[in-house]
């Protein structure tokens, strides 16, 4: 690990010399994310082309008291990249790593023809690794690694997501069941703090001691890290915690509120031979859920295990996303690893389970056409939902809840209650009003309530909040992989609160505020993300007075 200062301090408060967008039409695409829940406003969008330029922007922001919102690929669902004033620092042009080091510098052609991306690939005693810039679309990285027989397992559904966005949310995707989250594959990070200081840290080199962490900077800065408990399930809501917390883990999942993550060194693995298959169930969703429970009871360990309810299948079919078996009540998609070419051996336990649980049809096969059809099925649903929302001109209302395995049955009851309540009271429409799908092997499903009018939207927001409260009651989390962003709710006393307050006490929110203040004393970075600025200022005031 080492620490380096950024470029020399500028002598005036003049805006940095970086590419900028300032006309309304140019800025407009950066004022929302994929969910469309919020519409932001900003003075300008700044597009640094290097880490040094990004440091200049963050130094200038501190000198002028300018709020900065970080923006990646725009695929988020929580409003974290939506600015509430100030400027947007967009990472579109942060395409190259600083150096190859002991690895090989590799160029990746950019689809937009605005210049290549560069990453570094290498191998050491720990195995293969890649050093990647935050502005790299993850799909390009996966494609390059596949050509070399390598694999970076985190695989969020949205292929256009930037690597930096997945670092900021500690994303996982469908293969989290076997391979965990982004944090499990990050060896080192480079980051720029507000004020322009550069932070470079390797995992294991900087950890908290009894809740106190010294940042590896030229001037000593001690941070009190959170020590609250974490849910016993997949989780990405608020800052990481632990008395011996690693600095790498604190930065990952911080949603652009602590630092700009400019690049990461990722652990890689040999690409496994794997196939997808799908089982469709005619009788009811209960048969599909019983198959999942039986698989877990037998200790089967697929690469991924995904669930689609009846509404999901009907919406995919209506959108033309795939030709599906008629009348199916639910589907389970499983991705299994083929060891030593033994396809039949890998698939056999799943075929037996499907036949025992009222399965109506199976899509299976290692031929290219079948695998392409299954991959299309897995990725078609989010776009089908977005198509409907665009037609109704409504934002997305979707949950990201997860609970411990022992509580999943109770959570499914809550999902059914919420979906029934929404369908009974929402405006009539031709397509399904609710869909429930996602990473069932981790008890992590995404409930989408699809509004067609303002009244539907209000109802969807209220019911999704009720589902979130129930998940917390069951020992779960309000966010398993998307983060909390700028989502708000109105509590029973009529106060607007951040979503993180659903699962954190006031004392625990104070711990989060102290972390934020330690990294960003002026509270300028990611303003209103996670903790609203006014609440953050109020919580940290006693600390400042000391």
Reply yes or no on whether the pLDDT at 338 is more than 70: yes
Residues 6+ apart with CB under 8 A from 151: 145, 268, 269, 270, 271, 272
Confidence band for 542, pLDDT divided at 50, 70 and 90: low
> In Å, how far from its chain's centre is CA 413?
26
- Look at residues 464, 470, 424, 427 and name the one whose alpha carbon lies nearest to residue 447: 464
Sign of the torsion angle spanned by Cα atoms 308, 313, 315, 320: positive
In angstroms, the CA 314 to CA 274 distance is 27
Burial class, 248, CB count within 10 angstroms (exposed 0-12 / middle 13-18 / buried 19+): buried
H-helix or E-strand spanning residue 52:
helix 51-64
Confidence band for 343, pLDDT divided at 50, 70 and 90: low
Reply yes or no on whether the pLDDT at 546 is more than 60: no
Burial class, 264, CB count within 10 angstroms (exposed 0-12 / middle 13-18 / buried 19+): buried
Burial class, 545, CB count within 10 angstroms (exposed 0-12 / middle 13-18 / buried 19+): exposed
Q: What's the average model confidence in pLDDT over 420-449? A: 95
CA trace torsion 517, 520, 521, 522 (10° rounding): -120
Q: Which pLDDT score is estimated for 3?
A: 35
Confidence band for 355, pLDDT divided at 50, 70 and 90: confident
CA trace torsion 83, 87, 92, 95 (10° rounding): -130
DSSP structure string for 407-436: GHHHHHHHHHHHHHHHHHHSPP-SS-SEEE
Confidence band for 4, pLDDT divided at 50, 70 and 90: very low
SS3 146: helix
H-helix or E-strand spanning residue 305:
strand 304-309
Instruction: Specify the pTM.
Output: 0.92
- Please provide residue 360's backbone torsions phi and psi, each rounded to the nearest 5 degrees: -100, -30
- Look at residues 140, 178, 174, 175 and name the one whose alpha carbon lies nearest to residue 159: 140
Half-sphere exposure of 324 (CA within 13 A, CB side): 33
H-helix or E-strand spanning residue 518:
helix 506-519
Which residue in the block uniquely carries the two structure tokens 């600083």? 98
Half-sphere exposure of 264 (CA within 13 A, CB side): 30
- Look at residues 435, 457, 455, 430 and name the one whose alpha carbon lies nearest to residue 447: 435
Strands 68-71 and 87-90: parallel
CB 315 within 8 A of CB 327: no
Distances, alpha carbon 494 to alpha carbons 234, 289, 491, 501, 534, in Å? 31, 38, 5, 14, 17
In angstroms, the CA 8 to CA 502 distance is 43
Confidence band for 11, pLDDT divided at 50, 70 and 90: very low
Q: Which pLDDT score is estimated for 8?
A: 34
Residues 6+ apart with CB under 8 A from 152: 130, 141, 142, 145, 185, 266, 268, 269
Q: What is the chain's mean pLDDT, rounded? A: 90
> In Å, how far from its chain's centre is CA 151?
19
Confidence band for 249, pLDDT divided at 50, 70 and 90: very high
In angstroms, the CA 484 to CA 478 distance is 8
Reply yes or no on whether the pLDDT at 365 is more than 80: no
Q: Which residues pair with 398 in a beta bridge?
A: 448
Confidence band for 502, pLDDT divided at 50, 70 and 90: very high
Which residue in the block uniquely carries the two structure tokens 């075929």? 351
CB 302 within 8 A of CB 178: yes
Alpha helices in 117-255 (DSSP H): 138-147, 163-169, 176-179, 247-251
In 319-358 the beta strands, taken as DSSP E runs, fall at: 330-337
Q: Which string of b and e fits 183-193 if b means at least 16 CB within 10 Å?
A: bebbbbbbbbb
Query: Lowest mean pLDDT: which of 38-47, 102-111, 140-149, 173-182?
Result: 173-182
Residue count of the chain: 546
Sign of the torsion angle spanned by Cα atoms 504, 505, 508, 509: positive
Q: What's the average model confidence in pLDDT over 130-148? A: 95
Q: What percent of the chain has pLDDT over 70?
A: 94
SS3 362: strand
């Amino acid at each position: 690990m080492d620490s380096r200062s950024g470029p020399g301090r500028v002598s005036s408060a003049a805006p940095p010399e970086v590419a900028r967008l300032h006309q309304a039409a140019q800025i407009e695409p950066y004022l929302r994310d994929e969910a469309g829940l919020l519409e932001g406003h900003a003075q300008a969008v700044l597009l640094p082309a290097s880490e040094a330029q990004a440091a200049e922007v963050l130094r200038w922001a501190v000198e002028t008291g300018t709020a900065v919102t970080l923006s990646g690929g725009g695929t988020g669902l929580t409003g974290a990249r939506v600015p509430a004033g100030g400027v947007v620092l967009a990472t579109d042009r942060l395409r190259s790593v600083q150096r190859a080091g002991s690895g090989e510098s590799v160029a990746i052609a950019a689809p937009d023809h605005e210049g290549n991306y560069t990453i570094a690939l290498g191998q050491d005693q720990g195995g293969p690794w890649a050093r990647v810039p935050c502005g790299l679309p993850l799909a390009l990285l996966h494609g390059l690694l596949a050509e070399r027989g390598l694999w970076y397992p985190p695989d969020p559904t949205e292929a256009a997501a930037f690597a930096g966005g997945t670092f900021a949310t500690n994303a996982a995707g469908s293969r989290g069941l076997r391979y965990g989250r982004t944090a499990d594959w990050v060896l080192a990070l480079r980051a720029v703090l507000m004020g322009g200081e550069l932070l470079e840290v390797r995992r294991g080199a900087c950890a908290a001691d009894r809740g106190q962490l010294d940042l590896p900077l030229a001037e000593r800065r001690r941070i009190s890290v959170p020590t609250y408990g974490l849910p016993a399930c997949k989780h990405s809501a608020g800052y990481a915690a632990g008395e011996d917390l690693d600095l790498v883990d604190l930065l990952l999942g911080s949603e652009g509120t602590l630092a700009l993550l400019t690049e990461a060194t990722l652990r890689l693995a040999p690409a496994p031979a794997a196939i997808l298959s799908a089982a469709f169930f005619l009788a009811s969703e209960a048969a599909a859920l019983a198959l999942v429970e039986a698989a877990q009871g037998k200790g089967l360990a697929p690469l991924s295990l995904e669930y689609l309810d009846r509404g999901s299948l009907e919406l995919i079919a209506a959108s033309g996303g795939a030709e599906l078996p008629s009348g199916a009540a639910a589907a389970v998609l499983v991705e299994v690893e083929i060891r030593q070419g033994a396809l039949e051996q890998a698939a056999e336990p799943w075929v037996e389970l499907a036949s025992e649980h009222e399965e109506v049809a199976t899509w299976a096969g290692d031929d290219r056409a079948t695998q392409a059809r299954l991959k299309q099925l897995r990725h078609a649903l989010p776009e089908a939902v977005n198509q409907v929302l665009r037609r109704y001109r409504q934002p997305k209302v979707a949950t990201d809840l997860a609970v411990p395995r022992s509580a999943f049955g109770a959570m499914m009851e809550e999902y059914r209650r919420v979906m029934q309540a929404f369908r009974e009271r929402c405006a009539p429409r031709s397509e399904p009003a609710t869909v429930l799908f996602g990473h069932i092997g981790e008890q992590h499903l995404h409930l989408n309530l699809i509004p067609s009018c303002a009244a539907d939207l209000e109802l969807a927001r209220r019911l999704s909040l009720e589902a979130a409260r129930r998940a917390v009651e069951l020992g779960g989390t309000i966010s398993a992989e998307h983060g909390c962003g700028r989502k708000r709710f109105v509590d029973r006393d009529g106060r607007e609160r951040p979503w993180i307050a659903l699962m954190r006490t006031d004392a625990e929110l104070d711990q989060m505020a102290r972390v934020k203040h330690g990294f960003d004393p002026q509270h300028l970075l990611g303003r209103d993300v996670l903790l609203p600025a006014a609440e953050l200022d109020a919580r940290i005031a006693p600390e400042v007075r000391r």
